[in-house]
Amino acid sequence: MLNDNSSASNAISAQISKPLAYIAMTEDQIIEKILSKLSEHNGSPFFVADFVIHLLGDESAPYNTFVDRLESLNLARPTQPRHAMVITDHGRQVFTNGGWLKYLAEKKSEKFKADDKEALEAELTVSNIEANRLNKRNSKYNIWFSIINVIIGLLNLWLILKAVK
**The pLDDT of residue 9:** 46
Among 123, 126, 122, CA closest to 134: 126
**The pLDDT of residue 77:** 86
Peptide bond into 81 cis (omega under 30): yes
pLDDT tens digits for 11-56? Answer: 444 444 444 444 567 888 888 998 889 888 887 888 888 888 888 8
pLDDT tens digits for 88-136? Answer: 889 899 988 998 888 888 888 877 777 777 877 878 788 888 888 877 7
